[in-house]
Structure formats: structure tokens, C-alpha cells
Amino acid sequence: MKYAIIGGTGVYSLGDEVKEITMDTPYGKIDFTVMEKDGKEIVFLPRHGKGHGRPPHLINYLGNMWALKEYGVEFIFSTVAVGSTRNDIIPGDLVLIRDFLDFTKSRPMTFYDGSDGVVHVSMAEPYCGMLCKKIIKYNNDDIENIKDNIVYVCTEGPRFETAAEIRFYSQIGGDVVGMTNVPEVVLAKELSMCYCAVGIVTNMCTGLVSVEASGLEIVSIVDDKKNYLTNMFVDIILNGELRTDICSCRSSLIKV
């Protein structure tokens, strides 16, 4: 079995790196690192490309997900940096995302462009319920460790939101805001891979505090959490007894 960890802002150190791979995909070249632990292959994919080069609206979402599928990945653990719209969710918190509101505007967002007929993908459970359960269990159901049932708002970026936009997102049920989880989560489901996402809260959203988080603050908060998350993902991969037959991730395509 193969597994992937997708990182965003900040770069993970996985320790025993074994191979650097550049894969040619129909959407361009994708770089990732693979390490092997206890006979399991774990891919680390930097979402923004090597060196954090691509801004959120220009990330190669199609290439990234296509490369993981082609390499044989079945389970994806993703991390995203988010701002919070809620006073009880603060910088440094970890949040488990269960649903999203899509406010992206201009990104390629599907593998199904009509050449295979019309295909719809169910979004009844966008984030794999089986993987989410493992994450909750690892954290002993403790909201001090991770807050559950989070709705993620995906904006187009790269600009941050206005205060009015944040009031609106909050009123319609958005808990956190980021720029990168859509269409990534959708494309994983289109390719029948189990996918989950943990948000690292880097700042309060625009209008919620008078002083916005500086770049430096964001980097240091993400740094604090990334080792915890990497260890958690690797532990779940090695010991979590992950299965492909108890979630809906492989039966979510509806062909018309």
C-alpha cells in the first residue's frame, strides 16, 4: 500500500528520505519525495511545488492528484493553513475539516471534461470518514488537540478576504478560510483515493482582530504544528490498519 502526505505552507522534514521522484503527468512535471518505513511507502508532496513557487490559484492541482494516483497512492493526509472566523478557534489550533464551501473562481477543477461522457462525483462525504475517525481516535476525542466538524471556505486568493466577506462566510456556516483545499479534495474523490485534511490555524480572519498576523507569526505557528502532524500521520499510516472497503471513497462517481 502507498500513502501520501501533502504539505502546504512550511516544508516537512520526513527524516529518512529515500527517493526524489519527478513524474511526467498530462498536466506537467510533478516533484515528490518517497520514504519507506516498515515496508510502507509514504509520499511527501509539496502542494505548491518544489520551493513553494506557485500561489494558491496557480497550484497544479490536477497534476498533483494525477501523480499520486499514478504512483499507486490509496490514502492521502493533507494539511492546509487556515484563518479562523470563530472566536473559539484561535491561531495554533488544529481543525479536522469535514465539509467545504467553494468560492474559487478560475481553477481547473475536474478530470471529467466530457471526453468520458458526463460524470458527477458525490460530495456527500468529501473527506474520508474512515481516515477522519483514525485522526479523532489518535487525538483521544480531545478538542484541546483537534477541533472536529469544521467547514472550510475555499477562496480564490491570492488576496486575503475583506471584512465583509468574512462576515458573510461566517454567517453561511464557514468555520475556517483557506485558498488551497478545493479542488484538491474533489480531485482525490474523482480518482477514488481516500483523502482527509487537517487545518493549522495561522491567524484570525480579516476583521476579527485589529492587528493581522504577520508573515513571521504565521511561519512560527505552522512550524510548531508540523512535526506533531507529521508524527500523527506516520503513526496512523503505520499502526492505523487503514482499509479501502469501509468508506464511500471508491464508489462516489455517478456516470450519466
Looking at the Cβ atoms of 46 and 178, the one nearer to ligand HPA is: 178
Under the binding rule (CB under 6 A), the answer on residue 161 touching ligand HPA is: yes
22 vs 220, beta carbon nearer ligand HPA: 220
- CA 249 to chain centroid, in Å, comes to 16
247: Cβ–Cβ under 8 A, 6 or more apart, which residues?
125, 128, 129, 130, 131, 194
Buried b (16+ CB within 10 A) or exposed e, 118-138: eeebeeebbbbebbbebbeeb
Q: Which of residues 100-119 bind ligand HPA (CB under 6 A)?
A: none
What is the smallest separation between the CB atom of 187 and ligand HPA, expressed in angstroms? 19
Q: Determine the interface stretch with ligand HPA among 76-84, 125-133, 189-197, 230-238 (rule: CB under 6 A).
A: 76-84
What whole-number distance in Å separates Cα of residue 123 and Cα of residue 174?
Answer: 17
Q: Does 146 bind ligand HPA (CB under 6 A)?
A: no
Q: Are 96 and 228 spatial neighbours (Cβ–Cβ below 8 Å)? A: no
Report, in Å, the least distance between residue 86 CB and ligand HPA: 12
Count of other CB atoms within 10 angstroms of residue 212? 15
**Residue 146 near residue 95 (C-beta atoms within 8 A):** yes
Number of chain positions touching ligand HPA (CB under 6 A)? 12
**CA-to-CA distance for 188 and 212, rounded, in angstroms?**
33
Is position 45 an interface residue for ligand HPA (rule: CB under 6 A)?
no
Q: Does 177 bind ligand HPA (CB under 6 A)?
A: yes
CB of 186 to ligand HPA, least distance (A): 18
Tell me: does residue 208 bind ligand HPA (CB under 6 A).
no
Beta bridge partners of 22: 31
Residue 175 Cβ vs ligand HPA, minimum distance, rounded to whole Å: 12
Q: Which of 63, 174, 178, 240 binds ligand HPA (CB under 6 A)?
A: 178
Q: Which residue is nearest to ligand HPA (CB)?
A: 83
CA quadruple 126, 52, 166, 87: dihedral positive or negative?
Answer: positive
Residue 60 within binding range of ligand HPA, rule CB under 6 A: no
Is residue 202 close enough to count as binding ligand HPA by CB under 6 A? yes
Positions that interact with ligand HPA (CB under 6 A): 81-83, 155, 160-161, 177-179, 202-203, 205
